[in-house]
Chains A and B, each alone.
Chain A
Amino acid sequence: MTKFFSGLMRLRRGPWEMVATILIAVGVFMLMQPFVLWAFTYSFIVTLIGTVMFIIVSHFPE
């Protein structure tokens, strides 16, 4: 866990990609869940942030 946070602080690719992946997965879940409409409404912005973040952080050093 400490390694993960220190990776985030030092702008390392692995942990940041993990954050972006989680955001995308949460966004896709929010888009397709049958429980609450507000989650569907905000799903696109979450997925978009995750995807853009993924593109940016994939250029970070390992």
Chain B
Amino acid sequence: MSDRTIDRVAQATPVRVARKIRGLSDRAIAWIFISPTIFLLLAINIFPLIWTIQLSFTNYKANRIGREVKDVGLRNYERILTDTDTWLNMQATAHFLFWTIFFQVLIGFTLAWLINKKFKGNDLWTTIIVLPMMLSPAVVGNFWKFLYQPQIGLFNYIVSWFTGKEPSSFEMLGSVTLAPWAIVIVDTWMWTPFVMLICLAGLRSIPDYIYEAAEIDRASKLRQFFTITIPMVLPFLMLAVLFRGIENFKMFDLVVQLTGGGPGSVTELTSINLKREAFEKWRTGYASAYAIILFVTVFGLASIYVKALNKVKQR
């Protein structure tokens, strides 16, 4: 902005306002500017968190407003952490977390490694691979539901083409043994491109001269891969693992659309179970304690994530 414009704006400010502003220090003006954000942060994040912590020590039920609220101490936490059903939900979450991360890292890194080789149509392939990530999880859940249909689903027909089994002889979403794998396949299909992009950034950050020096030292391609590529991409891979770990720990929409937690409760992840406790059984105090347990876990993982992020930044 030119000096003349600044002068004109200054002259346009009413004398009363100008006098008031002139009396304020820089620090006070800075506080005036950031106070709406701080207020919103307190109202939307901090207050609900403190209230949830307080509710987690009570037997409060949100659907019974007039009911007397009793302080139950640590009983909600004790009940959650000794409940075998909750433990099974955690195991379902662990199965989902472990296998999605395993496949996403494996396929994502392989794709990134292939895309990093310069070939014709490289950019087009990158765009095509990245497409699933841009879809809404609700849409992905719905159309994979159709793909998994035993009568008309394309997935069953492809599997039958490879295995020779009848397409209608197995139900991906209805079988207790197959349903946990069905959600793993869909999440892997959707989020592998994300891991690929992070790995690609890591691979492209490795300077060519390191490989050239290795070539001069007559290091084999395999040796170069294990002593240059893997160690230099590792911080990026770790970042991808942590990011996907945190995201999948909170997974809700995709699985609800696909299986709704069934059959039985084999795909009932913790977030789905939490929603049931809070808004179907209306055990608000219990659900608050559950939410705090999940929050502390995600917060802990996020702390490690930030640490890993700083390490990557330092490179």
Contacts and interface: CB of A to CB of B under 8 A. Distances in A.
Contacts of A47: 296-297, 300
Interface of B: 77, 81-82, 84, 87, 90-91, 93-94, 97, 293, 296-297, 299-301, 303-304, 307
Contact of B94 (A21, A27, A34): A34
Interface of A: 17, 20-21, 24-25, 27-28, 31-34, 37, 40-44, 47-48, 50-51, 54-55, 58
Main secondary structure of the interface of B (DSSP, over half): helix
- For A32, A34, A55, which residue has the most chain B Cβ atoms within 10 angstroms? A32
A21 B97 CA distance: 19
Contacts of B307: 17, 21
B245 to A, nearest CB: 9
Contacts of B301: 24, 28
Nearest to A23: B300
A32 B296 contact: no
B296 A25 contact: no
Contacts, number: 52
Contact of A51 (B90, B93, B303): B303
A24 B81 contact: no
Contacts of A20: 303
A56 to B, nearest CB: 11
B303 A24 contact: yes
Contacts of A50: 300
Given A28-B297, A31-B297, A43 B303 contact: no
A12 to B, nearest CB: 15
Contact of B82 (A41, A51, A54): A41
